[in-house]
Chains A and B, each alone.
Chain A
Amino acid sequence: MTLQVDITRHAGDFALDAAFEAPAGVTAVLGRSGAGKSTLVSAIAGLSRPDSGRIDLGSTTLFDRAARIDLPPRKRRVAVVFQESRLFPHLSVRSNLMFGRRRRSEAQGPSFEQVVETLGIGALLSRRPRSLSGGERQRVAIGRALLAGPGALLFDEPLAALDAERKAEIMPFLETIVAGAEIPVLYVTHALEEARRLADRMIVLERGTVLASGPVEAAVAAAGLASAGDRFLDGVTVEATIAEIDERYELTGLALGQHRVWAPGVLGAVGEAARLRFLARDVALSLDPPQRSSVRNVLPGLVRSLKRTGGPYAIVSVDVGGAVLRAEITTRAADELGLAPGRMVHALVKSVAVSRA
């Protein structure tokens, strides 16, 4: 089964003009806020009507402007996991889970017991949504969508409203659920990490148009996500205070914990706060402080964690006191430097790579 989308929709000065195909398996839709992700989801689910184009799911036409076909949401068999879970507050977890299943007697897919077991929500069945944690709610919402026996599954930023810990809690469940999916699964997100972890293919959406699509890494390369201080990239944002201005060289020196960080340009007046963005790709690690180097920012710290993110990449978190920086390095570099939690390193950041968040 393949989901084929080719639609346009205008609203105010925003225009969505997207065409793509999503075969069985997970396709990530990556874009920042305002890129048209939500519009896309609601158009596919039937909650809003595109201006033109068509949407097909397998052999069923969900929408075809020219042929005046516009199936109502209930007939589309497109289940959605929303960012805010949208559980029904007046129903128990069990009734929420069965909401879709009861209304689609022909529904295929996993059994109630299987879903409850996979998501680990057996103990919650008689509770009300209000008494659940954010992570639990989202697990129930995922179960509810699965049990509706959908022909396509849409995830609309399911982790965006959760803190890092909850995200880490849900991720394994998501991985189990989408692994080997026999239906098209669209995973809409603004976080490249999530897309990399879950998806086989990716569509990069920008200002309403498809910037790139294909296998995840190919799409990353094609969309040029590796360049230009892109917000999709892994990195951290830290609060620093402007401590001095070098007017001659047009540099700003900021106090970050015990350290002085130099950023290009005059970012403000002394004493003001500034948020700085350090991309993981721009942070290098060295065991010894560099001698006679052009790198202006050298921050000694301790390795907190080392995560191999797949392929040749690893992400190292370094606590420099006052901030935890993330450095993306190759696994070979990690091995040759003998990096491990607790190890003393120097995080190196070129001044030109420091930007205001």
Chain B
Amino acid sequence: MHLPLVLPPVVTGYLLLIAFGRRGILGQTFENCCGLVFSFRWTGAALAAGVMGFPLMVRAIRLSIEAVDRRLEDAAATLGSGRLGVFFAVTLPLSVPGLLAGVVLGFAKALGEFGATITFVSNIPGETRTLPAAIYTLTQTPGGDAAAGRLVLIAVALSLAALVASELLARRLATRISG
């Protein structure tokens, strides 16, 4: 589960290619059952982004859930809450700021994902060319600097917007949580 966090992204991409490629076991299964093709399609780029971003997000969320005061959960149980009840009434609301941080982290990782994507689904214009791949391509093209600069600005704006939004939300939630 945490393997994609530590593996070089290119290796993850290569493993995805083997498993989810047209001849890969999982690739064939998905194609036969739901007509879903990953290799060299935008769906594959999404899968790569997910595989790379998800462990990071889950890790952050898990930490924030585990950080909730066990004693409050115990108190809720003595007041008649079952396990699920305790989770939804106490654990989840108290871990929302961490949850949010996890989502932003996952988003950022997915946005920046390069190695696994390019290995798995290549860099096909209009299909699998992600923002980082597009920037990379333009920097390799003579006269592409201006276009690359515009994309860089978009990337910066997107990242900043996500960061600011999460920060604002987290603050608002934090005051709501602790009064």
Asked if A78 and B178 make an inter-chain contact with CB atoms under 8 angstroms apart, the answer reads: no
Known: A88-B90, A103-B85. A127 touches B78 (CB 8 A): no
A74: chain B residues within 8 A (beta carbon): 77-82, 85
The answer to whether B127 has its CB under 8 Å from any CB of chain A is: no
The answer to whether A89 has its CB under 8 Å from any CB of chain B is: yes
Task: Specify which of A84, A90, A103, A144 is in contact with B71 (CB 8 Å cutoff).
Answer: A84
Asked if B179 and A129 make an inter-chain contact with CB atoms under 8 angstroms apart, the answer reads: yes
Name the residue on A nearest B90 (C-beta). Answer: A88
Asked if B78 and A47 make an inter-chain contact with CB atoms under 8 angstroms apart, the answer reads: yes
Task: Specify which of A72, A84, A144 is in contact with B77 (CB 8 Å cutoff).
Answer: A72
Asked if B179 and A127 make an inter-chain contact with CB atoms under 8 angstroms apart, the answer reads: yes
A127: chain B residues within 8 A (beta carbon): 179
Task: Specify which of B74, B82, B89, B178 is in contact with A89 (CB 8 Å cutoff).
Answer: B178
The answer to whether B49 has its CB under 8 Å from any CB of chain A is: no
Asked if A73 and B179 make an inter-chain contact with CB atoms under 8 angstroms apart, the answer reads: no
Asked if B179 and A78 make an inter-chain contact with CB atoms under 8 angstroms apart, the answer reads: no
Asked if B75 and A86 make an inter-chain contact with CB atoms under 8 angstroms apart, the answer reads: yes
The range of chain A's interface size is 20 to 34
Asked if A89 and B179 make an inter-chain contact with CB atoms under 8 angstroms apart, the answer reads: yes
Known: A90-B177, A131-B179. A45 touches B85 (CB 8 A): no
Annotate A57-89 by CB proximity to B: 1 below 8 A, 0 otherwise.
000000000000000111011111010101011
A103: chain B residues within 8 A (beta carbon): 79-81, 85
The answer to whether A100 has its CB under 8 Å from any CB of chain B is: yes
B93: chain A residues within 8 A (beta carbon): 90
Known: A47-B74, A82-B71, A82-B75. A90 touches B178 (CB 8 A): yes
Asked if B78 and A73 make an inter-chain contact with CB atoms under 8 angstroms apart, the answer reads: yes
Asked if B77 and A47 make an inter-chain contact with CB atoms under 8 angstroms apart, the answer reads: yes
The answer to whether B72 has its CB under 8 Å from any CB of chain A is: yes
The answer to whether A296 has its CB under 8 Å from any CB of chain B is: no
The answer to whether A135 has its CB under 8 Å from any CB of chain B is: no
Name the residue on A nearest B177 (C-beta). Answer: A90
Cα distance A145–B177 in the bound complex, in angstroms: 21
Min C-beta distance of B42 to chain A, whole Å: 40
Cα distance A73–B74 in the bound complex, in angstroms: 8
A88: chain B residues within 8 A (beta carbon): 72, 75-76, 89-90
The answer to whether A128 has its CB under 8 Å from any CB of chain B is: yes
B79: chain A residues within 8 A (beta carbon): 74, 79, 99-100, 103, 144-145, 148
8 Å CB interface, B92-114 against A: 93-94
Cα distance A130–B177 in the bound complex, in angstroms: 10
Asked if A73 and B77 make an inter-chain contact with CB atoms under 8 angstroms apart, the answer reads: yes
B94: chain A residues within 8 A (beta carbon): 89-90
B176: chain A residues within 8 A (beta carbon): 90
Cα distance A74–B179 in the bound complex, in angstroms: 27
Min C-beta distance of A191 to chain B, whole Å: 22
The answer to whether A94 has its CB under 8 Å from any CB of chain B is: no
Cα distance A42–B74 in the bound complex, in angstroms: 9
Name the residue on B nearest A79 (C-beta). Answer: B78
Cα distance A144–B81 in the bound complex, in angstroms: 14
Min C-beta distance of B27 to chain A, whole Å: 45
A78: chain B residues within 8 A (beta carbon): 78
B177: chain A residues within 8 A (beta carbon): 89-90
Asked if B77 and A46 make an inter-chain contact with CB atoms under 8 angstroms apart, the answer reads: yes
A77: chain B residues within 8 A (beta carbon): 80
Min C-beta distance of B174 to chain A, whole Å: 10
Cα distance A42–B81 in the bound complex, in angstroms: 16
Asked if A130 and B90 make an inter-chain contact with CB atoms under 8 angstroms apart, the answer reads: no
8 Å CB interface, A22-54 against B: 42, 45-47
Cα distance A321–B74 in the bound complex, in angstroms: 47
Supply 11 A–B pairs (Cβ within 8 Å), ascending by A. Answer: A73-B78, A76-B78, A86-B75, A89-B72, A90-B176, A99-B81, A103-B81, A104-B80, A128-B179, A129-B179, A144-B79
6 more A-B residue pairs beyond the given contacts A90-B177, A104-B80, with a C-beta to C-beta distance below 8 A: A46-B78, A47-B77, A74-B79, A79-B78, A84-B71, A103-B80
Where the two chains meet, the residues of B that have a C-beta atom closer than 8 Å to any C-beta of A are: 71-72, 74-82, 85, 89-90, 93-94, 176-179
The 3 A-B pairs at the shortest CB distance, nearest first, are namely A128-B179, A103-B80, A100-B79
Where the two chains meet, the residues of A that have a C-beta atom closer than 8 Å to any C-beta of B are: 42, 45-47, 72-74, 76-80, 82, 84, 86, 88-90, 99-100, 103-104, 127-131, 144-145, 148
